[in-house]
Amino acid sequence: MADYQITTSLVSGTTEIALSGNPTSALSATTSGTPQNWYIHTQFFHGMYVRNCEYNTTTSSTMQAPHVSFNQIDLNYTVQTNDEVITSATYPGEKWIPQLLYITSDSTTGGFGTSGTISTSAVGYIRRAAILGEDPSGVCVFEGNKILDKLPGAYQPAYDTSTTVAARLYSLAGQLPLDCSSFLASLVKV
């Protein structure tokens, strides 16, 4: 049985896709009473998008509208990572919490639809014993645009469903380390 489930619901004409399950899991039972150096990593993502059509203007005339070559999502987003080493601190042990994403869209099929948002509903978090000199330290904030979910022809909801969302979000997560090098795609759960 999976620890996480995708739930889709239609609320006031908006499709909301949420992830549920227990997002916390301990990595080890590090002794809690001994002060030591700890590495802490958090990551966050938020984006808003609109689906655009690309037209082939060579097929248009005063009598005929241009043909739609393809449609795609234009995603405007912010990704942020925070990495720090805390010296001589005491924690109850190492901890790992996956980053959970929450999608709100106008889709009636549970997909991305023609507009919406992708938000972090649980910040990705790692706490573990530090490896001094090797662990990254600092804050990265990157804002940008990406093209996502390119589909042939005009938009058709049959190609954009709740079953296709997870793979496309994993593909997006795999690209985010190019923006913030300490972003961990493996910490994202969709």
Which tens digit of pLDDT belongs to each residue from 54-92? 988 777 667 777 889 999 999 999 999 999 999 999 988
User: For residue 21, what pLDDT is reported?
Assistant: 42
pLDDT band at 30 (very low <50, low <70, confident <90, very high): low
**59 Cβ partners below 8 Å, 6+ apart?**
66, 67
Which tens digit of pLDDT belongs to each residue from 159-168? 888 888 989 9
Report the domain count for the chain. 1
Token reading at 166: 């997870």
**170 Cβ partners below 8 Å, 6+ apart?**
185, 188, 190
Give the count of alpha carbons within 13 A of 175, CB side only: 14
Q: What is the DSSP string of 132-144?
A: TTTS--EEEEEEE
Q: Does the pLDDT value for residue 141 go beyond 90?
A: yes
Q: Does the pLDDT value for residue 32 go beyond 70?
A: no
Q: Where are the alpha helices (DSSP H) in 99-161?
A: none
Q: How many CB atoms lie within 10 A of CB 98?
A: 23
Q: Does the pLDDT value for residue 1 go beyond 50?
A: no
Model confidence, pTM: 0.78
Structure-model confidence comparison of residues 9 and 130, the more confident one: 130
Strands (E), 14-114: 14-21, 25-26, 36-56, 67-89, 95-97, 99-105
Which tens digit of pLDDT belongs to each residue from 117-140? 999 999 999 999 999 889 999 999
Residue 90: which domain range? 4-57+65-189
Q: How many angstroms separate the Cα of 135 from the Cα of each of 79, 82, 98, 123, 164?
A: 20, 12, 19, 20, 35
User: For residue 132, what pLDDT is reported?
Assistant: 83
- When computed from its CA atoms, the radius of gyration of the chain, rounded to whole angstroms, is 21
